[in-house]
Structure 1
């Protein structure tokens, strides 16, 4: 009979767990504080420990460290409140086998315990490890992310600290049925992360359905998500199965979920609460077993404050969150993705471009990637197409990429500072004419003036070219043509 040690200062909880686990064939020891638990562990080694994170005499992470000093292979399951999930993630990094949240569910407890006891060496570390010396190197964490590149379709996971943290979060939440919110800018890979969660879950053999909520019209969103019956509205000539029904048993990914209308949010709330839905125009409830992952480029709690998103729906979704940093905040990952996209493009085009020049690598590492991975991929696809040899040169990059320093006023000399009329802030004015522009020709003066205006517009909108074109009252193609014209004149 395997022995389980329960550590909880709630005596009623200990009693309930003891009765439940005893009925299922386990021998149970109890400790109501950390000190008593350590005394028990000095005398015996259980097969497993269940420990409440918040004890009266010590925190769960402190007690976990002491347990791991004695029995490094002993599986420890942390019991935590809903609000302490982030703390639970930290103790997982310290070596806890898993965690369960209050309120406790019998089936979840049994499954978690059985999995823990099936792990290699569980309950078999019969030798007590001596206390760690002051200057000794701490033991490695139990869970280690492989130091290799993991491909997931368009996306890849590398071995940087950012990727390791991201993979730990995915590994932690994937086996559960938690609803996940993924926050990140457009083009940062939110859908790929949702796919990775699905692939590592128990639903991996079932459908994964991705929906861009930003592209759904108010009139058709209900039909797209929940389906409709024949004749339910004008144009409904046949019955339609919605995305939720298609994803039944698997995972549905709702990208830019904050764009859904209020009416659809109400219907979605019922789906999340009751796991039932009705097709538009239908009268029959359809049972759903679907995991929901949502994504947004703005914090949903901020949307609730603005009245754009239902607060009750937000709280239903907010079981676990993952934040994806924009590419410009992790420049160490740029070349990892760049080489991955180069390999993909070579296969697509049947080319053999092997590398980037040192100049191109430097440009990639210092450029501000406002379009994130999507922008980087498109730049590499274009550059690879224009490259004849084995190396991508800066001349194959778009103008705004290869001249990004000039566009951000980093390479132009500061010659004069002229105070403007109050209350305007002091404005720096560059006197030197950009290299290649002639001061004595009308054409040169015209191009110079347009170039300066384009620079100001780009800077004003953080170098978003679509917004800059709108600000200049021209279309995006015209903006590119103007920038190309300047480049050609500059090269003369």
Structure 2
């Protein structure tokens, strides 16, 4: 019987999930806090953890870090609000296996748990709080050369994507090291796999690891392995990613997160094509191709002292920029249909497509989570759809009302609330790849200056507040979370203030 640990400071939610999952054949333990949940990891030894992101004593990222220190391979599903989609992307980057959004739907929870357990294969877990010494981190092995793969979302029709495929075609047969630049969820790992599949190493291993989810203590062991007894908790010998990938390809995602010490060790591996396990005395010859990915320019990071410049130059034999989904609008519906096919298989449904209104919303929406967010939106919508087409009613509130909720793209609406295409006028989608600037400029309408009448103190106060908030938003490129922090208020207060300005302006 699979064991699930539920962590939530809402005991009603804990009890509800416990009863539901018990009926579905799972053994469930609940914890009302992150601290209690961490204590139960050793005694309960779960197969999977299901935790709310916002706990009284810690947030989801802090909890993830400590769970991964206990057992890196233990799957963790985070529960978050849909308005926190950026948070969901962040926890995935930090090592969460998946996330579900509130309000919770029983079928969605059950499907996510089943898929997570199937992917994890119920790996062996330690009996004490030490890392798993046998299971590599988020790895996959290639099985042959193919152009495109059923489970991957690499296909696209935009000119930008055609250019990427041409770059892949040229560089894949070489042994060049490659840097992939792009936002989280934009498909960098899939492109790395495609490079591997089109290379001469296609029949050899492809190993991927998310450096952003590695703690300083775990990174060396995961990359290079260790010998038994080399440090506290090293109860067995461990083979690292590089050794497992020998003769194949290693993909290091979020490479900029590696510590300075690990960067030094990595430089030696690249220069000498040799490595040594932690605590080992024997050099191991390596023949691997290295592909790395980053969401920031590594040369800029090097100039700031965050990344070794000599290591950057070793990697930078070739680079590919993977644009965010909002700059590949011609591909959005193609990806959406592909994800719908996958959802139909998972849910055993026969949904044919989307209504025209949904397609327009998809094209116009700003996909902060890129392909990963699009995929999850479609999975959720397919679950709630009983007919042949996904309609607006099945979409999350965050998607259909994004302009009202996201002041970092639209601070104050200038017209009735309809989706805005930030690169071109609405209703002009033609299927061709639009030309986008490297960094889309925020579109917002500035309310007219509040004029004072009879020395109204209220109006003067609103005027000053408006100017202060707008200046704060400009400083952080209209990121509402950062602006609220800068102003020392919470996001809800910021929303209320902006709404107040808008209503006052329309009086």
Q: TM-score, normalised by structure 1?
A: 0.56
Q: CA deviation at 1:463?
A: 8.3
**Corresponding residue for 1:392?**
390
On the 8 A contact 1:210/1:252 being kept in 2, the answer is yes
In structure 2, the residue corresponding to 1:344 is in which secondary structure? helix
**Corresponding residue for 1:290?**
288
Q: CA deviation at 1:461?
A: 7.1
**Corresponding residue for 1:374?**
372
- Determine which of 325, 331, 334 is the counterpart of 2:323: 325
CA distance in 2, matches of 1:238, 1:271: 23
**Corresponding residue for 2:212?**
214
Change (3 A) 1:160 1:415: closer
On the 8 A contact 2:148/2:194 being kept in 1, the answer is no
CA distance in 2, matches of 1:298, 1:331: 22
Change (3 A) 1:374 1:462: farther
Change (3 A) 1:168 1:224: same
Change (3 A) 1:295 1:152: farther
**Corresponding residue for 2:354?**
356
Matches within 5 A, 1:81-230: 150-151=148-149, 153-230=151-228
CA distance in 1, matches of 2:190, 2:316: 20
Which runs of 5 or more residues in structure 1 are unaligned? Answer: 1-148, 431-454, 480-492
Which runs of 5 or more residues in structure 2 are unaligned? Answer: 1-146, 417-444, 453-458, 464-469, 495-507
CA distance in 2, matches of 1:457, 1:363: 29
**Corresponding residue for 1:410?**
413
Change (3 A) 1:372 1:179: same
**Corresponding residue for 2:248?**
250
Query: 1:147-177: per-residue Cα shift (whole Å, max 9, x none)?
Result: xx94453213233312211111001011010
Change (3 A) 1:185 1:420: farther
In structure 2, the residue corresponding to 1:156 is in which secondary structure? coil
Q: CA deviation at 1:397?
A: 1.0
CA distance in 1, matches of 2:351, 2:472: 35
CA distance in 2, matches of 1:243, 1:292: 11
Of the two, which has the highest radius of gyration? 1
**Corresponding residue for 2:234?**
236
On the 8 A contact 2:154/2:191 being kept in 1, the answer is no
Q: CA deviation at 1:400?
A: 1.7
**Corresponding residue for 2:298?**
300
RMSD: 3.4
Query: 1:350-399: per-residue Cα shift (whole Å, max 9, x none)?
Result: 11111111111111111111111011111111111111111111111111
CA distance in 2, matches of 1:172, 1:359: 40
- Determine which of 296, 311, 318 is the counterpart of 2:309: 311
CA distance in 2, matches of 1:460, 1:395: 36
**Corresponding residue for 2:276?**
278
Change (3 A) 1:416 1:317: closer
Change (3 A) 1:226 1:382: same
Q: CA deviation at 1:232?
A: 0.8
In structure 2, the residue corresponding to 1:417 is in which secondary structure? coil
In structure 2, the residue corresponding to 1:303 is in which secondary structure? helix
In structure 1, the residue corresponding to 2:154 is in which secondary structure? strand
Q: CA deviation at 1:256?
A: 0.3
CA distance in 2, matches of 1:263, 1:420: 59
Q: CA deviation at 1:468?
A: 8.8
CA distance in 2, matches of 1:463, 1:371: 17
Change (3 A) 1:396 1:411: farther
CA distance in 1, matches of 2:297, 2:220: 24
Query: 1:401-453: per-residue Cα shift (whole Å, max 9, x none)?
Result: 101233433354779612489xxxx99x99xxxxxxxxxxxxxxxxxxxxxxx
Q: CA deviation at 1:467?
A: 6.8
**Corresponding residue for 2:267?**
269
In structure 1, the residue corresponding to 2:448 is in which secondary structure? strand
Change (3 A) 1:357 1:277: same
- Determine which of 314, 317, 334 is the counterpart of 1:336: 334
CA distance in 2, matches of 1:341, 1:465: 30
- Say how many residue pairs are matched: 302
Change (3 A) 1:205 1:328: same
Query: 1:255-309: per-residue Cα shift (whole Å, max 9, x none)?
Result: 0000000000000000000100000011110000011000000000001011010
Change (3 A) 1:464 1:372: farther
In structure 2, the residue corresponding to 1:188 is in which secondary structure? coil
CA distance in 2, matches of 1:328, 1:241: 40
On the 8 A contact 2:156/2:335 being kept in 1, the answer is no
Tell which deviates more after alignment, 232-241 or 459-468.
Answer: 459-468
CA distance in 2, matches of 1:402, 1:227: 47
Bigger RCO (CA 8 Å, 6+ sep): 2
Change (3 A) 1:417 1:366: same
